[in-house]
């Protein structure tokens, strides 16, 4: 008997110590004020992240966040039922991988029906960034930049088509002076002529069509930036003229004039020393040399050698490395554009064959943008664009209000149960109340240990568990009362009461466990949270209401044999 009690107390002590260990991060995290949290995040971001990871996670309804319902965008192409199901399944897995790498705590990502995906992101601060991360197609291509002669030919063809005239051959010996006079887009008023030069200047006088901008409706909006490599230049469009150029390129006459082997793709937008902002415009070979499928890994970082700006470093697969080596070997001294989601990120000159399969992407405004690009490239491109058909944002203040109301409801429920048990069962009721307090501690510790998420329905499950925990004690106490009325001693009545009530308690708890399992299997996020808390509560209540209280009674009757029991 003595050794059995020692073993029981050892188990209880281990449970209490383990509960304290798992609850300590939660107590530390949620006892911090906003200033202390911000200070810890700045001084020790890894430590704060570890603390947050080990603490009890709060669901969308308690800490705020985003709720998105996504659907395949079929505006450009339609899908068969089988294609639609396959696309949604692939998109689900890709989104899950992206969100996991993004670092969202306890996200909910699940398929609804055959066409929709629900995404819940608790605690998100930058909503636009998260939404862009989820919906970004991330289609990566490596395309060759057209040479200067081809670019000139296409510019002249577009000018002629939009002006409604035939394409004239380029003059072979036009002087620089004539060119300057002819090209009305020369950057004569530019303070940085070496940075932004006119199209006529960069092409040595062989590009400009004589006449006014009306004769050159396309090239009149263009200026250039030398790349430092002979025969190569970047075309620039001033920010205020970008929409006009978009309209010109979309014109049916312009579309028909462009060689079908090439396409015009916009690049990044950059401010220049003349105080103006320009956007790059590239003429690329339409057929891609490589796509994102050749990328094995993508990591964000900084260019520590030259620009000190954010970059994404790419590592190709074995097949991709071989193909990349072939492409760079065959096109030395040409330019290879890295195109992401139909925007040229950069177009470096190929100086030599690159067999390693390493490349990098520049042109990011922040390291966060570079990290997001790295995430989507590692996770893969979406099989089809997704559109948001429902979006809800829950603010932190609403979550704080929910937490306050949940605390109030739990405090009221616990107080009512504690008072009832003491009034009805007297000293034995106090034992049940101690077991109830331990039960709540163990439930919260289990939530932290398993990394479960506490939601508003979860709080409801916790409150329900409070009532169910003392229900087991009620069954035991009533059986003990019956045994005492039969004239048994206190020790014998306690032992018989627990033995006979145990079967009934287990039957009741097992049926509740079955219901919780069904809720978890077929429910969605909040319902699953309720089922998880209810299941943990049932297991903990059996431990505290039967194992813990029986150990207390047996220890008491062994130390001090009692003639009567306050029950």
CATH number of the domain within which 89 lies: 3.30.70.3400
- Residue 294 and residue 185 share a domain: no
- Do 155 and 257 lie in a common domain? yes
Alpha carbon dihedral 324, 329, 333, 335, in 10-degree steps, equals -20
In a domain, 41, yes or no: no
For residue 557, the Cα-to-chain-centroid distance in whole angstroms is: 57
pLDDT at site 213? 65
**What residues are paired with 226 via a beta bridge?**
233
Cα(118)–Cα(60) distance, integer angstroms: 13
**Predicted local confidence at residue 180, as pLDDT:** 33
Residue 54 lies in a domain: no
Total count of domains within the chain? 4
Q: Residue 395 has what pLDDT?
A: 66
- Asked, for residue 417, whether it belongs to a domain, the answer is yes
| 438 within some domain | yes
What distances in angstroms separate CA 200 from CA 153, 174, 349, one per listed residue? 13, 10, 23
Residue at 153 is within a domain: yes
| Confidence at residue 397, expressed as pLDDT on a 0 to 100 scale | 64
Q: Which of 345, 365, 394 is the last residue of a domain?
A: 394
Q: Is residue 46 part of a domain?
A: no
Plot region of 216 (φ>0 → left; ψ -120 to 50 → alpha; else → beta): beta
Residue where one domain finishes, among candidates 246, 267, 288: 288
Number of other residues whose CB lies within 10 A of the CB of residue 515: 12
Distance CA 314, CA 319 (A): 14
Range of the structural domain that residue 177 is part of: 146-288
> Is the domain of 300 the same as that of 204?
no
Name the domain boundary from 357, 380, 403.
380
* Strand residue runs (E) in 132-220: 140-144, 197-198
State whether 548 and 404 are in the same domain.
yes
Does 313 lie in the same domain as 266? Answer: no
pLDDT at 208: 39
* 483, 420: one domain: yes
- Are 232 and 376 in a shared domain? no
Give the pLDDT score at 125.
Answer: 65
Strands 57-58 and 453-454: parallel
User: Residue 557, Cβ neighbours under 10 Å: how many?
Assistant: 17
Answer yes or no: are the C-beta atoms of 98 and 380 closer than 8 Å. Answer: no
Residue 535 lies in a domain: yes
Residues 284 and 295 in one domain: no
Burial class for 4, CB neighbours closer than 10 Å (0-12, 13-18, 19+): exposed
Kindly state the DSSP code that residue 523 receives in the 8-state scheme. Answer: -
**Cα–Cα dist 444/215, whole Å:** 76
Burial-class residue 429 by CB neighbours within 10 Å (0-12, 13-18, 19+).
buried
Which is nearest to 431 in space by CA: 542, 538, 535, 546?
A: 546
Looking at the structure, tell me whether residues 410 and 555 fall in a common domain.
yes
Residue 159 tokens, joined: 């000018």
pLDDT truncated to tens, each residue of the chain (567 aa)? Answer: 667 888 889 999 999 999 999 999 999 888 888 788 888 877 887 788 788 888 887 777 777 778 888 888 877 777 888 888 888 887 887 787 777 766 666 677 888 777 788 888 877 767 777 777 777 666 788 899 998 888 888 988 898 888 875 554 443 333 333 333 333 333 333 333 333 444 555 443 333 344 456 677 888 888 887 776 666 778 899 999 999 999 999 888 888 888 999 999 999 888 888 888 999 999 999 999 988 888 888 888 887 777 778 888 888 888 888 988 899 899 888 888 888 778 888 888 888 888 887 877 776 778 877 887 777 677 666 777 788 888 877 766 666 777 778 778 888 888 888 898 888 888 888 998 999 999 999 999 998 888 777 877 888 888 888 877 888 888 888 888 888 888 888 888 888 889 888 888 888 888 889 988 898 887 766 777 788 888 888 889 889 988 999 998 888 887 776 667 787
Q: How far apart are the C-alpha atoms of 340 and 89, rounded to whole Å? A: 23
Region label for 426, one of left (φ > 0), alpha (ψ between -120 and 50) or beta (otherwise)? left
Six token digits for residue 146:
């057209």
461 vs 486: CA distance, rounded Å? 38
Largest CA distance in the chain: 125
CB atoms within 10 A of CB 566: 11
C-alpha to C-alpha distance for 228 and 272, rounded to whole angstroms: 17
Q: Name the percent of the chain in helix, strand, coil, to the closest 5.
A: 55, 20, 25
Q: What is the pLDDT of residue 14?
A: 94
Of 378, 381, 379, 332, whose CA–CA distance to 355 is shortest?
A: 332
One domain for residues 31 and 128: no
pLDDT score, position 285: 94
Q: Are 160 and 257 in a shared domain?
A: yes
Same domain membership, residue 250 and residue 133: no
Query: Closest by alpha carbon to 142, among 391, 318, 346?
Result: 346
Q: Evaluate whether residue 303 is within a structural domain.
A: yes
Give Cα 152 to chain centroid, integer Å: 44
Instruction: Give the Cα separation of 526 and 551 in Å (integer).
Output: 36
Calpha distance 271→268 (Å, rounded): 10
Q: How far, in whole angstroms, is CA 37 from its chain's centroid? A: 22
SS in 3 state form for 540-562? HHHHHHHHHHHHHHHHHHHHCCC
Q: What is this structure's pTM?
A: 0.54
pLDDT recorded at residue 104: 65
């Amino acid at each position: 008997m003595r050794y059995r009690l020692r073993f029981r107390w050892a188990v209880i002590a281990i449970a209490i110590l383990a509960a304290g260990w798992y609850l300590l991060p939660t107590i530390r995290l949620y006892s911090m004020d906003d200033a202390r949290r911000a200070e810890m995040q700045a001084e020790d971001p890894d430590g704060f992240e570890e603390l947050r990871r080990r603490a009890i996670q709060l669901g969308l309804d308690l800490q705020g966040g985003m709720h998105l319902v996504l659907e395949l965008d079929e505006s450009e192409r339609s899908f068969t039922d089988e294609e639609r199901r396959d696309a949604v399944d692939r998109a689900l897995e890709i989104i899950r991988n992206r969100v996991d790498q993004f670092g969202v705590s306890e996200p909910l990502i699940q398929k609804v029906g055959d066409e929709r995906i629900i995404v819940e992101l608790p605690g998100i601060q930058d909503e636009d960034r998260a939404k862009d991360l989820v919906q970004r197609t991330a289609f990566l291509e490596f395309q060759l930049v057209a040479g200067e002669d081809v670019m000139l030919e296409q510019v002249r063809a577009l000018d002629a088509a939009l002006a409604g005239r035939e394409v004239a051959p380029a003059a072979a010996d036009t002087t620089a002076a004539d060119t300057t006079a002819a090209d009305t887009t020369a950057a004569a008023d530019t303070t940085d002529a070496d940075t932004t030069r006119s199209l006529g200047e960069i092409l040595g006088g062989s590009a400009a069509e004589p006449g006014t901008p009306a004769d050159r409706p396309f090239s009149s909006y263009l200026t250039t930036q030398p790349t430092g490599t002979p025969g190569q230049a970047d075309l620039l469009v001033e920010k205020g003229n970008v929409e006009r150029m978009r309209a010109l390129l979309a014109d049916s006459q312009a579309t028909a004039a462009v060689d079908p082997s090439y396409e015009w793709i916009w690049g990044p937008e950059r401010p220049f020393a003349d105080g103006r902002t320009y956007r790059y415009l590239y003429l690329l070979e339409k057929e891609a040399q490589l796509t994102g499928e050749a990328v094995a890994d993508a990591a964000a970082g900084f260019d520590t050698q030259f620009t000190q700006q954010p970059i994404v470093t790419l590592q190709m697969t074995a097949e991709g490395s071989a193909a990349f080596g072939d492409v760079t070997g065959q096109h030395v001294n040409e330019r290879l554009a890295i195109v992401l989601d139909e925007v040229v990120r950069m177009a470096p000159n190929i100086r030599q064959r690159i067999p390693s399969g390493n490349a990098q992407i520049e042109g990011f405004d922040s390291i966060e943008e570079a990290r997001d690009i790295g995430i989507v490239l590692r996770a893969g491109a979406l099989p089809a664009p997704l559109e948001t058909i429902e979006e809800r944002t829950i603010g932190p203040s609403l979550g704080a209000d929910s937490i306050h109301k949940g605390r109030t409801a739990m405090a009221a429920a616990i107080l009512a149960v504690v008072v009832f048990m003491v009034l009805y069962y007297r000293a034995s009721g106090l034992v049940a109340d101690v077991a109830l307090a331990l039960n709540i501690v163990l439930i919260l510790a289990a939530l932290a240990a398993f990394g479960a998420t506490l939601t508003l329905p979860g709080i409801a499950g916790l409150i329900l568990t409070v009532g169910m925990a003392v229900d087991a004690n009620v069954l035991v106490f009533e059986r003990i009362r019956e045994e005492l009325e039969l004239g048994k001693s206190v020790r014998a009545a306690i032992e018989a009461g627990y033995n006979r009530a145990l079967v009934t308690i287990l039957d009741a708890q097992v049926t509740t466990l079955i219901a919780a399992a069904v809720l978890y299997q077929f429910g969605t996020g909040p319902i699953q949270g309720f089922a998880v808390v209810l299941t943990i509560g049932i297991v903990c209540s059996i431990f505290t209401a039967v194992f813990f209280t029986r150990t207390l009674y047996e220890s008491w009757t062994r130390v001090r044999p009692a003639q009567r029991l306050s029950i």
